[in-house]
Structure 1
Amino acid sequence: MTISPASASRRDFLKVSGALGLAAGLAATLAACGGSQKPTGTGTGADPSKINKDGTITAGISYELGTTGYDPMITSAALTIAANWHTLEGLTELHPATREVYAALGAELPKKVDDTTYEVTLRDGAKFSDGTAVTTDDVVFSFERVLEPTNKSTYLQFLQFVAKVEAKDATTVTIKLNYPFSLVAERLSVVKIVPKAVVEADAKAFDLMPTGSGPYKMTDNSAASQNIVFERNDHYNGPHPALAKTMTWKIMPDDTTRTNAMTSSKVQAIDAVPAANLKQMKAPVTVAAQQGFSLLFAMFNHSTFSDPKARQAVMYALDYVKICETGMSGLATPATCFVQDGHPAFKQAKTVYSYDAARAKSLLSEAGVTSLSLLCTNHGWFSSARPIIKENLEALGVSVAYDERKSADAYQLIDGSQGPWDVLIAPGDPSVFGNDADLLMRWWYGTDLWTETRMHWKGSESYTAIQALLDEAVRLEGEAQVAKWQEIFDKLSEDVPLYPIFHRKTPTAYDSQTLSGFKPIALTGLSFVDVGSTTA
């Protein structure tokens, strides 16, 4: 039996029809509902009779336009990845809402020829938004640019199993593997197919305004307008066509501005609903808080916290109930495993951390720790949790030096060894790239940036053991593979090189009357795949 990202997980929804009570009471109103739905060519739940085919979708987005562009070879920003869901395609894709893998530019999911050979035939008549045909040369080019180490692609780390991709003929590509790999269909989705001629002609222009084969095409993303504008790609002939003629994302990083835009019907959906503003939402606005992998983690500097007892002490020092219920207004669940409860590979880890100040003090004493430098990123959505974490660690009776910085500045300090730090508290969500446990773990535990430059963990006994287990797991399938991942989860819970404090529920607000087929997602960002507008 193979386990797919769609197998699975029950999803937590908060349905609000009328004024909400205090945000702190949010957790008590969460209700579980339904399993995952399979994507279809007419939308995931959209009602064709209600959709205005010439309608417009308008959304408020919490993330600012960054300094990097949209090139799918390198981008990892939440905003650009979400935009690319709508304009670009891989041979396969993971539906943003269901996380089910489906054939996108491929006519079918990859066909296994032998243990290390797969073939994919392109969708008949597939074209880019400029009207040019998608060719096997484009596919080979797209993979080669990601696989070329000098290009420093964000996605190379997820493709170590790929030896090469080559054109078999005008319609089919052959994918040769370095070793048998059980997650080919899911993992190929990280490579978006781009037009070779357009990229080679002007890579910078492509980065700013990508040409793709997705259901929409981007027409504006200027910082001056603070809007990202999309139009239906009339050349698209795939399984998830655009159900609106145009779509505009308004960049609204300010919580109050974004909330006011939603409550005044200036937008039809917003992401990152602030817990403090939840009570402002009234019908027809629906708020959904969907449990996902997205987490807040503690990362340790192994140069100073090399003793696992010191790392375990920090984990036992945290009041998880207070952090999640008070600091996060119920929009978080204490971690009991590396992955969240509901993930296909979830099993409660061997070590589950709970608030135990006495044990934390004892472990710190055994490790000889008398002071620690605590570094936190300043992301607004966990601003009320930071004081609790700081207070928990100060209560251990050791000297705590606290530093709070923007995310980029925090990592600049760490990467450049510009200052002391022992513990970093920061968010992360590699599930935007994929949902399988191997990918989620390798994001932090398999690359030199995290393991060597940041954690200084590479080369340790536990690092070596984790790498061996990861490499063993990817060669397995089904229940044996899941069991091996769970063995890794157990070891991570004891070694805690970097470990989740909680998994987050992602709050989204949307107008259920003017959007048809909208599905809140557990990822950062918004998805309008398979969504239509009922208004002009």
Structure 2
Amino acid sequence: MPELRPAGVERRTFLRYTGFIGAAAAITASLSACGGPTSTADGETGGSDGSGTIEAGMSYPLSTGFDPMITSGATPYAANMHIFEGLVDLDPVTLVARPTLATGMPKKINATTYRATLRDGATFHDGSPVTADDVVFSFERILDEKNASLMAQFVPFIDTVTAVDAKTVEFKLKYAFALFPSRVAVARIVPKKIVEADVKKFDAEPVGSGPYRFVSATREDKIVFEKYDTYNGPHPAKAKKMIWRLISDQSARVSAMQSGRVQAIEDVPYIDVDGLSAPAKTEAVQSFGLLFLMFNTADERFADKRVRQALHYALDTEKIIRTAMVGNATAATGYVPPTHPDYHKAATVYTHDVAEARKLLAEAGLRDLKFSVLTTDTGWVKDIAPLLKESWAAAGVDATLDIAQSPAQWAKVDSGRFEVMVAPGDPSVFGNDVDLLMRWFYYGFWPEKRYGWSTTAAYKKVKQLLDKAAQAADEAVRKQLWAQVTDLVADEAALYPILHRKLPTAWNEKALPGFQPLPTTGLSFLDVGRA
């Protein structure tokens, strides 16, 4: 089968950015081989002293490997929170930065220089010490353009990283960046020796310094972890073992929770939230996680922003939230939800206005618009799809639904074979500041390679504003510039959120002391025991 990628995209870059669809298939055999029949100790209980087994139901399969420099898959990313550490990590519940491998938050030496000191006795899962050279290596491979790291776009301000001594690392910045101490959380520290020896094996069998070590993974089945006994960091494992069941089928996931096969599940179907309240605690947490509408602006119809705006105005978002999501979402009134500390209400808010939609389409000369819309087969997205079609039909628009698995749909997007796409997204797993959240969708790969916005004056303006905000020392100035970007991307609507959803999680309170649901995709068992 021929490889599909956008014209002009170098092969390695394409594979990195499209989630390693081919690479994931290639490593499946390796993952399965190292997994094999596993003694799961199903149902084993214990205390919060590092005994017992935690079993969880995850909603997404393994679509990528685990290399933290490049993985964007929801499940491997969640796994990496337990396997790897950064100098600084984000608290998975609050998304506030906290020192992990470092003894404290990076220390500011001057406006463009920071230093971080590693904790004594930190080791990787093979027993080797974590050194400053490993930290330098981890950042340099992210910054190396030929590696096409997904994390590189979040640290463009780093100039050099050097080892001062075995335990101290110094960062020199290209310009002052006030968010530096928390932003370094995007980089997980990896063992130089192991990665250089066999990067493909490392991607399939990750080795970190976190509280749990990787044991095995079988695609569309399970991931197995064990407590790393010599971990000496701030968040030691409180269970002997974890087994993550990869259960993409919604009803099967709910059944696993109700039967007690697992002690927690993510992505509870909205219709089942109340039904699970009796045997388990269920909570839906407001997230940045959005459902967005993205257009192929290389298509002359969607190059006209009036057409893009019209399709937003045509959507009865409140009906979608009320019926398909049982109220578990907030209609987008800005790029981030109102609960975000840097929320700005956009100058353009897309309320349900069929008359305005028809008017804009007429002005654009498209009275009989027909197109195909790609959506993923993620349970809640699939539930929403017919309501999108219904809303557009009320405005005289004929949309054909194309629903399939996520990798297949993104392959179409990345080969330029799409008109409109509706999909979920949540870069807040990498960080919750507006600069990072905006750069994910509006700076670099997405506008340049996915929705074809890179040649527009609007895109150039967005880049200028984000770069200016990044270099602003004053917080008020940064917020004002981010507000300008919000207004601009809302008006342009080349890619813009329809809603921000709540994430329903279910868990057994008695079995998992310390567990808390997350405002991002995935589950976290850091600081969680097994009773």
| Separation in structure 2 between the aligned mates of residue 407 and residue 517 of structure 1, nearest angstrom | 33
Name the structure 1 match of 2:395.
396
| Post-superposition offset of 1:372 | 3.5
Answer with 408-417 or 282-291: which moved more: 408-417
The equivalent position to 2:375 in structure 1, one of 377, 380, 394, is 377
| Cα deviation, residue 312, structure 1 | 1.1
- The answer on 1:473 being equivalent to 2:469 is yes
Question: Counterpart of 1:96 in structure 2: which amino acid?
Answer: P
Which residue of 1 is the match for residue 454 of structure 2? Answer: 458
Contact 1:328 1:382 in 2 (8 A): no
The equivalent position to 1:261 in structure 2, one of 240, 256, 269, is 256
Secondary structure of 1:345 counterpart: coil
Q: Counterpart of 2:39?
A: none
Q: Secondary structure at the match of 1:221?
A: strand
Counterparts in 2 of 1:306-325, with a 5 A limit?
Answer: 306-325=303-322
Q: Spell out the pairing of 1:73-88 with structure 2 (5 A cutoff).
A: 73-88=69-84
Q: Residue 144 of structure 2 aligns with which residue?
A: 148
Contact 2:90 2:431 in 1 (8 A): yes
Aligned partner of residue 383 in structure 1, secondary structure: helix
What residue number does 1:409 align with? 408
In structure 2, how many angstroms separate the alpha carbons of the residues matched to 1:255 and 1:156? Answer: 35
Q: Using the TM superposition, give the Cα deviation of residue 401 of structure 1 relative to its aligned residue in structure 2, in angstroms.
A: 4.1
| Matched ranges for 1:221-300 at <5 A | 221-223=217-219, 226-300=221-295
CA distance in 2 between counterparts of 1:241 and 1:398 reads 55
Aligned to 1:437: 434
Checking the alignment, whether the CA contact within 8 Å between 1:375 and 1:410 is kept in structure 2 is no
Aligned residue among 361, 364, 369 for 1:367: 364
Note if contact 2:258-2:279 (Cα within 8 Å) is conserved in structure 1.
no
Give the letter for the 2:285 counterpart. Q
Work out the CA distance in 2 between the residues paired with 1:213 and 1:401. Answer: 48
Asked if structure 1 preserves the Cα contact closer than 8 Å seen for 2:66 and 2:206, the reply is yes
Counting only pairs closer than 5 Å after superposition, residues 56-135 of structure 1 correspond to structure 2 as 56-66=53-63, 68-135=64-131
Is the 1:93–1:101 Cα contact (8 Å) retained in structure 2?
yes
Q: Contact conserved, 1:142 with 1:194, CA < 8 A, in 2?
A: yes
When residues 372 and 274 of structure 1 are mapped into structure 2, their CA distance, relative to the original with a 3 A threshold, is same
Counterpart Cα distance in 2 of 1:172 and 1:483: 36
Structure 2: distance between partners of 1:464 and 1:405: 33
Aligned residue for 2:202, secondary structure, equals helix
How far apart are the structure 2 equivalents of 1:309 and 1:129? 55
1:222 deviates by 2.8
Deviation at 1:393, TM superposition (A): 1.1
Contact 1:87/1:218 (CA < 8 Å) preserved in 2? yes
Cα distance change on mapping 1:399 and 1:272 into 2, 3 Å: closer
C-alpha distance after superposition, 1:352-407 (max 9, x if no partner)? 11100001100111111231313122322122211111111122224434433332
Q: Name the amino acid aligned to 2:370.
A: L
Corresponding residue SS for 1:236: coil
Residue 201 of structure 2: aligned partner: 205
- Counterpart of 2:228, as a letter, is N
Q: Hey, what's the Cα distance between the residues in 1 that align with 2:356 and 2:451?
A: 24
Once the two structures are TM-superposed, the CA of residue 137 in structure 1 deviates from its matched residue by: 0.8
**Cα deviation 1:414-470 (Å, max 9, x = unaligned):** 32233x51x2111111111111111111111101x3212222111211111111110
Using the size of structure 1 for normalisation, the TM-score is 0.87
Equivalent in the alignment of 2:529: 532
Which whole-Å deviations, capped at 9, do the CAs of 1:315-343 have from their partners, x for residues lacking one?
A: 11010110111122212110111001111
In structure 2, the CA distance between the partners of 1:130 and 1:327, relative to structure 1 (3 Å rule), is same
* Equivalent position SS for 2:273: helix
How far is the alpha carbon of 1:218 from its aligned partner? 1.2
Give the AA of the match of 2:340.
Answer: H
SS of equivalent to 2:421: strand
Equivalences for residues 153-192 of structure 1 within 5 A: 153-192=149-188
Shift of 1:484: 1.8
SS in 2 for 1:515: coil
Report the alpha carbon displacement of residue 284 of structure 1 after superposing the two structures with TM.
4.4
C-alpha RMSD over aligned residues: 1.6
Letter in 1 for 2:384: A
Cα distance in structure 2, aligned partners of 1:318 and 1:89: 42
Contact 2:416 2:450 in 1 (8 A): no
Specify the code of the residue in structure 1 equivalent to 2:354: A
Corresponding letter in the other structure for 2:375: T
User: Counterpart in 2 of 1:386?
Assistant: 385
Pick from 514, 519, 523 the counterpart of residue 522 of structure 1: 519
Could you tell me how far 1:52 is from its partner in structure 2? 4.8
Retained in 2: the 8 A contact 1:128–1:235?
Answer: no
Q: 1:355 & 1:223 partners in 2: Cα distance?
A: 41
Pair 1:282–1:208, CA change in 2 (3 A)? same
Residue 296 of structure 2 aligns to which amino acid in structure 1? Answer: N
Deviations 1:186-222 (A, max 9, x none): 2111111111111122222211111111111111213
Query: CA–CA distance in 1 between the matches of 2:293 and 2:219?
Result: 34
- When structure 1 is superposed on structure 2, of 366-375 and 288-297 the one drifting more is 366-375
What amino acid maps onto 1:343 in structure 2?
Answer: H
Residue 79 of structure 1: how far off its partner (Å): 0.4
C-alpha change, 1:250 and 1:399, in structure 2 (3 Å) is closer
Match of 2:338, SS? coil
Gaps of 5+ in 2: 1-45
Q: Contact (CA 8 Å) 2:373, 2:399: kept in 1 or not?
A: no
Amino acid in the other structure paired with 2:113: T
Question: What TM-score comes out, normalization by structure 2 length?
Answer: 0.88
C-alpha contact (below 8 Å) 1:88/1:214 kept by paired residues:
yes
1:53 aligns with 2:46: no
Aligned partner letter, 2:374: C
Paired residues, what number? 481
- The one-letter code sitting in structure 2 at the alignment partner of 1:322 is K
Show structure 1 runs of 5+ residues with no match.
1-48
